[in-house]
A = this chain, B = another copy of it.
Amino acid sequence: MPLKYTVNQESKNNRARLGLIRTCRGTIETPVFMPVGTQATVKTMTPQELEELGAEIILSNTYHLYMRPGSDLIAEAGGLHDFMNWQRPILTDSGGFQVFSLGDLRKISEQGVQFRSHLDGSKHFISPEKSIQIQMDLGADIIMAFDECAPYPADYEYVRESSALTTRWAERSKKAHNRADQALFGIVQGGMYKDLRRQSISELLELDFPGYGIGGLSVGEPKEVMYEILEDLIPHMPADKPRYLMGVGSPDCLLEGVLRGVDMFDCVWPTRLARHGMVITKEGNMPIRNSSYARDFKPIEEDCPCYTCRNFSRAYIRHLLKANEVLGIRLTTIHNLAFLMYLMQDIRQAIANDNLNEFSREFLSRYNGKK
């Protein structure tokens, strides 16, 4: 068995739960936030720095690695872990979301998706079988079924058909998968339609995956809509399998997701925000390039134990960013990832204390206060 999930504690007043995911390469405490290493590197970070932050699993993107440097090359390197020298667990997505994001560059059929490369315009075709083959070449510990992510907004009929296609592709993905050291997750679709979401999970359950992604959320809909979908869907998901809300990572969404029963998250948000000069604090997000920080010699957060806050001032970080120095985005990235890692630790502690509702209320009122 490539993956073993155990629930260690369930909240009394909400659907949050503490769990452990065991893989061949190590154990992951859930709820967990997974930093994203799109091109076989979490932008600006070494694997060593990620370990020091306490990251237990990272995500990498099948589409990007397939296009460059190529999954054959990574297989030749001994797989993604050896290629990037990260020996803890990795999750790869199916490439579906990235391919659909290409818009006019792609064409969907029953068989799969035809698309043109964002790098050189060359023609490619990805099917469920091909996505799984690439993910077997990459060798991540958790891999995802190939799905269609419906756009938002989309009408009922479109989403119904798209969701049914995702089920058929999930079946083909499972059939194509034959690496015993990898866990293949199915992906629930169904857009913003609760009945289609329920139908999607009930179809996937027949295929019996060791975990389930929730795809097609955080694609432009209001957050309240996403929360409603989660609230309705999750009671229909199996309690003994991890639930992974794909592409979600802002502090409010993490908290609301955990409260509704989500175990896993990933998002480029903290690292992308960092490269745009925005740092996350308990008082809200801080545009540290602003001139008001020019002579502010305090750390980003006084009580933050991250490398950035222990060693450098807002004024220095601002200077680095203004001067386009790489160290600037390194320091903001470290802080933003550390912020989310510490937040997830606090969330797990609050679940253990069965006071996540209170923790969440207090955190969010402070975080949203100055936003």
- Residues in chain B near residue A69, CB distance under 8 A: 294, 315, 318-319, 322-323
Q: Which residues of B contact A84 (CB under 8 A)?
A: 316
Q: Judge whether B327 and A45 touch: CB under 8 Å.
A: yes
Interface membership of A83, Cβ < 8 A: yes
Once the chains bind, are A323 and B76 in contact (CB under 8 Å)?
A: no
Interface of chain A residues 313 through 362 with chain B (CB within 8 A):
313, 315-316, 318-320, 322-323, 325-327, 329-330
- Report the minimal beta-carbon distance from A298 to chain B, rounded to whole angstroms: 11
In residues 288-318 of chain A, which contact B (Cβ within 8 Å)? 294-295, 297, 307, 311-313, 315-316, 318
Taking a contact as CB atoms under 8 Å apart, the answer to whether A319 and B85 are in contact is no
State the number of copies, please. 2
Report if A44-B83 is in contact (Cβ < 8 Å); known contacts: A76-B295, A297-B77, A316-B77.
Answer: no
A45–B327 alpha-carbon span in the complex (Å): 6
Q: How far is the CA of A84 from the CA of B319 in the complex (A)?
A: 10
Compute how far the CA of A43 lies from the CA of B329 in the bound complex, rounded to whole angstroms.
Answer: 12
User: Are A41 and B312 closer than 8 Å at their CB atoms?
Assistant: no
Report chain B residues within 8 Å CB of A78: 297
Asked whether A68 lies within 8 Å of B326 as measured between CB atoms, the reply is no
Given contacts A83-B316, A316-B84, whether A326 and B43 have CB atoms under 8 Å apart is yes
Q: Which residues of B contact A294 (CB under 8 A)?
A: 69, 73
Q: Which of A78, A297, A323 has the most CB of B within 10 A?
A: A323
Determine if A85 and B312 form an interchain contact, defined as CB atoms under 8 angstroms apart: yes
Q: Digit string of A51-72 for contact with B (CB within 8 Å is 1, else 0)?
A: 0000000000000000011000
How far is it, in angstroms, between the C-alpha of A318 and the C-alpha of B78 when the chains are bound?
Answer: 17
Note all chain B residues with C-beta closer than 8 A to A285: none
Residue of B40, B322, B327 near A44 (CB, 8 A) is: B327
Q: Which of A307, A311, A319: most chain B CB closer than 10 A?
A: A319
Residues of B within 8 A of A83 (CB): 313, 315-316, 319
With A73-B295, A77-B297 already in contact, the answer to whether A44 and B315 are too (CB < 8 A) is no
- Asked if A327 and B46 sit within 8 Å, CB to CB, the answer is yes
- B41, B43, B313, B330: the one within 8 Å of A77 (CB): B313
A322 & B73 in contact (Cβ 8 Å cutoff): no
| Set of chain B residues within 8 Å of A316, measured between Cβ atoms | 40, 77, 83-85
Task: Determine if A39 is an interface residue (Cβ-Cβ < 8 Å).
Answer: yes
A323-B43 in contact given A85-B311, A85-B312 (Cβ < 8 Å)? no
- Minimum distance in angstroms from A222 CB to a CB of chain B: 34
Please, which residue of chain B has its CB at the minimum distance from the CB of A69? B319
Q: Closest chain B residue to A76 by CB distance?
A: B295
A40-B318 Cα distance, complex, nearest whole Å: 12
The smallest C-beta distance from A319 to any residue of chain B, in angstroms, reads 4
Q: Is the CB of B68 within 8 A of A319?
A: yes
Tell me which residues across on chain B come within 8 A of A319, comparing CB atoms. 39-40, 68-69, 73, 83
Expressed in whole angstroms, the minimum distance between the Cβ of A86 and any Cβ of chain B is 10
Starting from the known contacts A43-B326, A43-B327, 6 additional A-B residue pairs (CB-CB under 8 Å) come to A39-B325, A41-B327, A46-B330, A68-B319, A77-B313, A83-B316
A residues bordering B, Cβ < 8 Å? 39-41, 43-48, 68-69, 73, 76-78, 83-85, 294-295, 297, 307, 311-313, 315-316, 318-320, 322-323, 325-327, 329-330
6 sample A-B contacts, Cβ–Cβ < 8 Å, listed by A number: A39-B320, A43-B325, A47-B311, A48-B307, A69-B315, A77-B316
